[in-house]
Amino acid sequence: MVHLPGWLPPSAFTDVTLVLRGHKPAARVSVGPRGGDLRRWARRHGLFTSIDADGFAAISRNPATARRVIDLDRRPGRHTLALGTMLGYPPCCSRAAARVGDEGIDRWHAAMATRRFHGRFRAIDPSGYADGSSRISHVPCSTRCQPSLRMAMLPQGC
């Protein structure tokens, strides 16, 4: 079991854990001034990081992927769909995120977190993302998104 650094924001737990398990190719997290600490921690666990001047980092098992995520994120213009694809989100969810744009994702997340997820789809409820208890690291496109459910049901061990 890999222990994540306590200084990472709780929301990063889901993202980084999914990368460590090999369930997604990269994660983008906010690390503020702790970029050097993240880089050292990542190296010890076979991960690579790329960090921008604003304190956002991409973490991946592939150094080129980490660089491409940060390069794409820093690029001006609309890149929500491409970034979702690079981060391993289901295509349907990436397209839904692109419809609201980067500036609308937090509002969309808040709206989806108030919706009811029934039965096994409770596993894709995004309301636990901020505190690190979510099983997926993206906003599902619907309360019955099958690709998100498949991701949520992947094995949980690191």
Q: What is the pLDDT of residues 18-46, one digit of tens each?
A: 999 999 999 999 998 988 999 999 999 99
Percentage of residues of the chain with pLDDT beyond 90: 82
* Structural domain harbouring 83: 10-152
Q: How far is CA 31 from CA 5, 39, 124, in A?
A: 11, 10, 25
Using alpha carbons, select from 35, 28, 62 the residue that is nearest to residue 48.
62
Which of 7-11, 58-62, 75-79, 127-131 shows the highest mean pLDDT? 58-62
Q: How far is CA 94 from CA 46, 82, 91, in A?
A: 27, 8, 5
Residue 106 near residue 93 (C-beta atoms within 8 A): no
Write out pLDDT tens, residues 71-115. 999 998 899 999 999 999 999 999 999 999 989 999 999 999 999
Residue 154 has pLDDT above 90, yes or no: no
Say if 157 falls within a structural domain.
no
Say if 5 falls within a structural domain.
no
Say if 118 falls within a structural domain.
yes
pTM (two decimals): 0.89
Residues near 44 by beta carbon (within 8 Å), at least 6 away in sequence: none
Say if 158 falls within a structural domain.
no
User: How does the average pLDDT of the chain come out, rounded?
Assistant: 93
SS3 assignment, position 29: strand
Split into its structural domains, the chain has a count of 1
Say if 4 falls within a structural domain.
no
Say if 88 falls within a structural domain.
yes
Residue 157 has pLDDT above 90, yes or no: no
Say if 99 falls within a structural domain.
yes
Say if 108 falls within a structural domain.
yes
